[in-house]
Amino acid sequence: MNLYLIKLGKAIKTIQREGIVRGGKRVLTAFFAMFRLVGSGDVLFITGGVGDSALYRSFHVAEELELHGLKCSVTLQDNPLLVSYTNKFSVFVFHRTLYTGGVIKLIKKIKEQNKEIIFETDDLVYDPKFLEHMDYFKNMNALERKLYENGVGGEILRNPYVKVCTTTTTFLANKLKEENKEVFIVPNKLSNKDLEIAKEILQELSSWKSKSLALGEVRIGYFSGTISHNKDFATITDALMEIMEKYVNIKLVLAGSLDIENKLNKFKNRIEHLLFVPRVKHFQNIANVDINISPLEIGNPYCESKSELKFFEAGILEIPTVASATQTFCEAISDGVDGFVARDTAEWVEKISKLVESEELRKTMGEKARAKALQDYTTKNSHGEEYYVYLKSKI
């Protein structure tokens, strides 16, 4: 099916979900991004969208590589000048791109010039066999489903010319190695702009939180990011019910598109719903809670593939996180030191309770989470030397 029909399906869903004004603005942003000018350089990132995935996996990685001496640009796959960029770059990174006519022509020209193609993914959407594990898939409209029916970029991954992949986590790297590819793990990272935003927010934080402190509130925040997390949130409903019953000063803050279970409606007067917002406001919203939670369905391959960004987005703002004990979160979080990981309802209740009851623990754990974020999850403190050397060998 034509790429633009698929995009239309996503646009319709966005407007239905967020309304004509807010949703329409997001759709227009995506449309005009197609025509962003591209110069020349070493590495070109071709991405399929303009959301957070593209931000982290194309724009932030491009910034990281620039800081290590590589000249990079980013473009959308539906850029009308896409094929002409073959002569301007040596390495082409395909991030969540559909196998459309323009992409096929670009790949053909890259091969003719014997240049490098790298397949990039930040989850399992490249393989349709994993779609059964994606909670949101069953609620997609017919046009949206076309985006995933062959796997997003699966044809590129399976192309024998493509020898190298990049991805976000050990779990995903192991899956890609099953395709007989060399894999570089390039973790998600905060940009320099993100660090500036966080610094400004931290300087103003005391005045923001004065109201909740005066009321004796402890705010627990869940920032779902996408509409694929209803099932994840459901895994901690019982724990949250127990926490809300146990502590009358708890306020639950839910950001993004989320259908909460009816059981929690009992506490609707203590639940605040936030819409999708621009990035600066997103960080402000995180900073305005006391505890961040990041539940995922443990053992679900789609969830196990998710990165630790919910940990370090909160950490950079000194907000402690309780997260599901997926492989990735267990690798990222030193349990009980710079965050908590939880395996079941009892552990969720236990670990959230510790943070609710101790302002000092929230403070010290948040400070250590920020130190971890600064050390391991920023473009300026990146540690991917093996990948940088590989790219430079292809320039």
- Domains of the chain by residue range: 3-189+379-393, 192-376
Within 8 A by CB and 6+ apart from 119, the residues are 94, 126, 153, 156, 157, 162, 164, 165, 166, 176, 181
Domains 3-189+379-393 and 192-376 share a fold: yes
User: For residues 316 and 3, what is the distance between their CA atoms, to the nearest angstrom?
Assistant: 37
pTM over 0.75: yes
CATH class of residue range 3-189+379-393: alpha beta
User: For residues 322 and 251, what is the distance between their CA atoms, to the nearest angstrom?
Assistant: 16
Task: Tell me what pLDDT residue 12 has.
Answer: 52
Write down the residue that tokens 């062959």 correspond to: 150
Q: What is the pLDDT along the chain (395 residues), one digit of tens a residue?
A: 455 555 555 545 454 455 565 544 544 554 444 456 788 999 999 999 878 999 999 999 999 999 999 999 999 999 999 999 999 999 999 999 999 999 999 999 999 999 999 999 999 989 888 776 666 666 666 666 666 777 789 999 999 999 999 999 999 999 999 999 999 999 999 999 999 999 999 998 766 665 556 568 999 999 985 555 678 888 999 999 999 999 999 999 999 766 666 788 899 999 999 988 899 999 999 999 999 999 999 999 999 999 999 999 999 999 999 999 999 999 999 999 999 999 999 999 999 999 999 999 999 999 999 999 999 999 999 999 999 999 999 99
User: For residues 128 and 30, what is the distance between their CA atoms, to the nearest angstrom?
Assistant: 25
CATH class of residue range 192-376: alpha beta
